[in-house]
Amino acid sequence: MSGGFNKTLQFIVLIVISVACQETGKPSSQKETEAAKQKEIVIPGFNADSAYLFVEKQLSFGPRVPNTKAHSACAAYLEKTLNRFHAEVIVQDFKTRAYNGKVLNAKNIIASFEPEKKSRVILCAHWDSRPYADQDPDADNHRKPILGANDGASGVGVLLEIARQLKNYKPRVGIDIILFDAEDYGPPTDTQQQDETDYWGLGSQYWARNTHRINYRANYAILLDMVGVPNPSFLMEGFSMHFAPDKVKKVWDVAEEIGYGDYFLREIGGYITDDHYYINQYRKIPAINIIHLDPESVNGSFFQHWHTLGDDLGSIDRESLLIVGNTVLAVIFRE
Ligand code: AHN
Ligand code: ZN
């Protein structure tokens, strides 16, 4: 009985002492450090389940091929969702000619956070999906459109989740999320025009020559492409290293520091004509590509289901979305 009372008393005394210490016991320098910490930027946590749902939602419209209903419906969804996250959204509506002469009605969707800030970083991905499963093992599928879970939706899914975080958390730099259209309408591999690489990245080519604001500048751009594959290997892509080696190093260093060194490999990959190429070449903004590269794969460059009907939700791993999302968030919140 009395032992129990003593213990209770001891406990109360301990609480009183600890509260007293909290109020008065700290040296003033420590208090100042804490005041400074209050003003310090808080890096939000990336929610992989939320990103995964954003991928799933994009696929629910069907293949997002320009000039289709699914494409229009998905564009409306992306615009609405980015508005919901309090971004200032500009939709660039444009027509562009495909390799086969077809006129594509395309939309680049641009979401700006704190557009008044001078110092800016671009985060981008393509939101369209390819009209041709021309790498499918079954030749009967070569003219069927793909869902593009990894090839398109994964990067957009990560960026929508980042946008959701940016509604409540503000880095020191302004952020422009750019969702490019008509990236993947390049000529099928069994036509004569394969080597005409400028039929890829039509949306980024348009944006680089007609930015959404006059005299638009950004410090650099990070492109996400095929970031949802399980156990990804993000090699240092060729054009990224050519145009912006310091930005590659910055991102890879942050990734390693937060524990993702097994995925962001210090190994040079091939040159991929992707949206970042046109941002570098036409706009002179240093742009890098975070892209899963696998020289050992069946297609010699990308993941197993690249440009096949197999690029569906089954080839998306939440963990990979998390790795990329946390890395990009850490990079922009350290600026
Ligand atoms: C070329 O194959 C020329 N570029 C690949 C860019 C790409 C296609 N990214 C996704 N799909
Ligand atoms: Zn593609």
CATH architecture classification, 46-333: 3-Layer(aba) Sandwich (3.40)
The CB of 200 under 6 Å from ligand 1? The reply is yes
pLDDT at 298: 96
For residue 100, which phi and psi values (nearest 5 degrees)? -95, 10
User: How far, in Å, CA of 177 to CA of 162, rounded?
Assistant: 9
Alpha-carbon Rg for the chain in angstroms: 24
In the numeric block, the tokens 């751009």 are attached to 221
The CB of 225 under 6 Å from ligand 1? The reply is yes
pLDDT at 20: 40
**Ligand 1 atom nearest residue 197's Cα:** 3
Paired strand residues for 234:
264, 292
Q: Which residues of the chain have pLDDT under 70?
A: 1-39, 192-195
Nearest CA to ligand 1 atom 4: 273
For residue 267, the Cα-to-chain-centroid distance in whole angstroms is: 21
The CB of 301 under 6 Å from ligand 1? The reply is no
User: How far, in Å, CA of 123 to CA of 51, rounded?
Assistant: 15
**Ligand 1 atom nearest residue 274's Cα:** 6
**Which among 272, 291, 303 is the best mutation to test ligand 1's pocket, defined by most ligand atoms within 8 Å of the CB?**
272
pLDDT at 193: 64
Nearest CA to ligand 1 atom 11: 184
Please list, residue by residue across 186-200, b when 16 or more beta carbons sit within 10 angstroms of its beta carbon and e when fewer do. Answer: bbbeeeeeeeeeebb
Structure tokens belonging to residue 257? 């520091």
User: For the segment 25-51, what is each residue's pLDDT rounded down to a tens digit?
Assistant: 444 555 455 544 445 789 999 999 999
pLDDT at 5: 43
User: For the segment 290-302, what is each residue's pLDDT rounded down to a tens digit?
Assistant: 999 999 999 999 9
The CB of 272 under 6 Å from ligand 1? The reply is yes
User: How far, in Å, CA of 225 to CA of 212, rounded?
Assistant: 22
Nearest CA to ligand 1 atom 9: 274
To the nearest whole number, what is the mean pLDDT of the chain? 91
pLDDT at 39: 58
Q: pTM surpassing 0.85?
A: yes
